[in-house]
Amino acid sequence: MNAAPSSRSVAIRLLAAVAALAAGVAAVIVTVQLARTTLAEAGSSSAAAGSLTAPGPASSGSTPSNPTSTASGGPRFPTPPPGSLALGRESADLAVGLAVSPRNGKLGLQASVIGPDDAVNGLSVSFRPSGSTANPVIAEPCGDGCYAAELPVRSAKGIRVDLSGGGRPSASLVFPLPASLPGPSADSLVRRADRAWRGLRTLVAHERLSSGPGQTVNTIWRYKAPDLLTYAIKGSGAAIVIGDRRWDRVAGGQWQESSLDPIPQPVPLWLSATNAHLLGTERLGGRQAWKIAFFDPRIHAWFTLWVDRATMRTLELRMTAQSHFMHEVYGPFNAPMTIAPPTKAAR
């Protein structure tokens, strides 16, 4: 499976957020580390404007055994342990990951805490089963932004993670857990969802992108095979991409034309998937959907997907990464769509 299209697509989406900043709408800070990782994977510091090199096929292999890893020369990152259930949530401007691993009648827990600039050290982190009145278990540092402990329980409906110290406001997050831990493997489901995405003729995505409270942009994306897309940021800029041509404009401005290498569409947002587990099934928009969680070590992001059981199309997606909290709802699929250059009058 060629991951180059995904690399380029992620780069385009990062540039869309930058366009929103340039237009002065919300102060969404696109994480430098995520952008650098994505663009380095793609082989170009100029994102979609230049020639991009394929980073290699997507993988469902295990994560490194070291709790922290380095990507593209960037800071060390607290990746989830191999085989663990990997979940992500946002807390103000922090990306918080929780890895859960059954261990000899206990639950091994690792919290990964990433701030706008880097992994966050020096915090006091504790765990307890959600709804429990028992004393919390205090986590020990296990690397940059990494905090680990064991809970003396075999199972729990959820894990409450409490964060304090480091000059930051205290915060509590609850991570719901599936009935079995770490849950059935979802490697094959992620691969099938990837294939279904790449087999679409057209796709519409409604996206909410934030870097923290009050820092949000809303964008509508439209994709059409083989290499066409548009996006429109509410109250801000827009773009049209057709093959090797691109047109961009900020709110109230004129369209500016440029060139780029063609970017195959539609493609999923993730580049690779490790720690993929099935959380269960849910009814979404009248459809029965698989709920899947996994970690992408190539862009350092936690994903939750809702995938239609009948068609394997992704209906909804949540991504948690450094200063990059994304929620996308998809549809319609394969509907008639026209993507054309801006009219001469609009230029």
How many CA atoms lie less than 13 Å away from 107 in the CB half-sphere? 25
Which of 303, 280, 297, 305 shows the shortest CA–CA distance to 197? 305
Q: Where exactly does CATH 2.50.20.10 map onto the chain?
A: 4-55+185-333
Better-scored residue on pLDDT, 247 or 42: 247
Q: 4-55+185-333 sits in which CATH class? A: mainly beta
Most confident of 3-7, 57-61, 286-290: 286-290
Residue 343, burial from CB neighbour count under 10 angstroms (0-12, 13-18, 19+): exposed
Average pLDDT of the chain?
Answer: 82
Question: Taking the CA atoms of the chain, what radius of gyration do you get in angstroms?
Answer: 20
Residue 16 has a pLDDT of 57
pLDDT band at 81 (very low <50, low <70, confident <90, very high): very high
The answer on pLDDT for 196 being more than 60 is yes
Q: Where exactly does CATH 2.60.40.3340 map onto the chain?
A: 84-176
CB 172 within 8 A of CB 190: no
The answer on pLDDT for 40 being more than 70 is no
* Domain 84-176 architecture: Sandwich (2.60)
Scored b (16 or more CB within 10 A) or e, 61-84 reads eebeeebbbebeebbbbbbbbebb
